[in-house]
Structure 1
Amino acid sequence: MTATAETLPAGAAARLKTALGVARSLVIYYGQPWRRAALKRFYRDLVAPGDLVFDIGAHVGSRSQTLLSLGARVVAVEPQPAFAALLDRHLASRLVALERVAVGAEEGEVTLRISSRHPTVTTVSDRFIDGVRDTDGFREVVWDQAITLPMTTLDRLIASHGLPAFCKIDVEGAEADILRGLSQPVALIAFEYIPAMPAITREAVTRLMQLGPYRFNRVIGETHRFVSSGWVDAEALLAGLDALPPDAPSGDVYARLAA
């Protein structure tokens, strides 16, 4: 009989589910080379060789690999053990550092909630889980594991590695919390937005405007092209996001410090 998650002991079943979830992510992010080529073209206009970049929520390393291929110096941050182990095996020697920690508003410890079957949506945010569990794409997700791990801040990462030219944040609902742990502007920041949770995006944009005169644009999903032909102010960005239905695709907000 072929072993399945249902026929294995609990611990082995969880490991099998996680392995399948990681494999699914690898197929999505590495099995479509045209998307990776589009991402490289997109980043080439934003990141220069030698730039220091923080990849917060590095996942399976697709963004880090692309940034490395452009000559950037990358600090990858990934608290999910399965993804961190993958990065350690395949990318660590090329990185400035691999940080196996969560990032938040303050230093300390935090509970990381993991879905064995869908490890991509691992999160430290109970608010995120409550906000998406009844939306399309999340109804089958069960966060069946929890681990405690250290939490640091962007300020602490900057103290350790230097001020990045670009900081990408993709952490399933903790984006605004992470920006509260930053006390100086970064030239370019990208963070995930989820139409079903507009308050988090608004909080993140508000925090950025407290740090400096930012202009904004956004990308839908994995399209790797900006929605607007030019960079807009915070009010225009938020108005556009507020007009989206809750089940619209998620994407990334890009914030660029105005000259």
Structure 2
Amino acid sequence: MQRDLIYDVGFHHGEDTEFYLTKGFKVVAIEAHPALYHAGRQKFIHDIESGRLMLLNVAVAETSGPISFFESDNDVWGSIRRDAAKRNERLGAGWREITVEGRQFGEILRQFGVPYYMKVDIEGADLLCLKALAEFDDRSQYISIEAEVDVLSGIRKEIAALSSLGYAKFKIVRQGHVPLQSCPNPAREGRFVEYKFPYGSSGMFGEEAPGEWISGDRAVEGYRKIVRVQRLFGDKGWIRRLPLGNKITNFLQPDVSWYDTHASLT
């Protein structure tokens, strides 16, 4: 494990990469969307030239080589999963199928090494990264993935996958509240920075992530109520599927957000 290295799997506009760099870490960032990749190269050109950032224009996939990528009008929703594109269409976001370079995550780990922290948010393909990590004896100290809050069985599968890799402690982090986060001083990860988290960013990580560390069983129970709300009003909820589902949801304004599961080895 390289203690000064973080992986940003799902770079988007670089909201998280910028935070990690500011904290003093080196970053390997992965972005499949060509336009986002090229914008990122321009934004972070000095960090790339200095060697502090390696930005890869690939999609984490089951196989290496050209694959289909479903580019969304909402650029945060791009995915290698066709069912994700269909969900986006139901929510009013058009999509286009393009061809990008796919790469097995194990190849990336072998090339750059196992990081201290791994943030994964790649719209339905997060578990590919965990599957690849199982091929290595080394582990990241911390990992976060976007939680599959549509069904409790999805949560159980994710917690089980993390537990099988040796992760014993978990945090449930509500991502809609990330802009309210404030970095602790003194810092518990990297160096202290006064940072304003933009909406959509992943926020703090490791020992600075908000909330208490809990067991895998408690994490599953903690997600139970969240899943109930999501099954009604979430992106795949049955109310959303009604002809006026989006209008009903907007009128009722239910407490719906997306969540990340953070995991620690010890």
Which amino acid is the alignment partner of residue 133 of structure 2?
L
* Match of residue 216 from structure 2: 234
The offset of 1:105, in angstroms, is 4.0
Q: 2:11, 2:30 within 8 Å by CA — same for their partners in 1?
A: yes
In the other structure, the counterpart of 2:115 is 164
Give the superposition deviation at 1:71: 0.5
Alignment of 1:254 with 2:207, yes or no, is: no
**In the alignment, residue 80 of structure 2 is paired with which amino acid?**
V
Aligned to 2:247: none
Q: Find the aligned partners of 1:160 and 1:124 in 2 and give their Cα distance.
A: 22
Shift of 1:210: 1.4
Name 2:8's counterpart in structure 1. Answer: 55
Question: Which runs of 5 or more structure 2 residues have no equivalent in the other structure?
Answer: 182-207, 235-255
- Residue identity over aligned pairs, in percent, reads 22
| Aligned twin of 1:88 | 41
What SS does structure 2 have at the residue aligned with 1:172? coil
Mapped partners of 2:225, 2:68: distance in 1: 33
* CA apart distance, 1:92: 3.9
- What is the distance in 2 between the residues matched to 1:170 and 1:234? 20
CA contact (8 A) 1:77 1:99 kept: yes
Q: Distance in 1 between matches of 2:162 and 2:217?
A: 13
The root-mean-square deviation of aligned C-alpha atoms, in Å, is 2.4
| TM-score normalised by structure 2 residue count | 0.69
Conserved? CA contact 1:220–1:227, under 8 Å: no
> Per-residue deviation at 1:106?
4.2
- Taking the TM superposition and a 5 Å limit, the aligned residue runs for 1:1-259 are 51-94=4-47, 95-115=52-72, 117-130=73-86, 134=90, 139-143=91-95, 145-183=96-134, 184=136, 185-224=139-178, 229-244=211-226, 245-246=229-230, 247=234, 248-258=256-266
Cα pair distance change 1:106/1:70, threshold 3 Å: same
Give the length in aligned residue pairs.
Answer: 204
Work out the CA distance in 2 between the residues paired with 1:173 and 1:204: 12
Letter in 1 for 2:264: R
CA contact (8 A) 1:176 1:200 kept: no
User: Larger deviation: 106-115 or 64-73?
Assistant: 106-115
Q: Residue deviations 1:10-49, cap 9 Å, x none?
A: xxxxxxxxxxxxxxxxxxxxxxxxxxxxxxxxxxxxxx9x
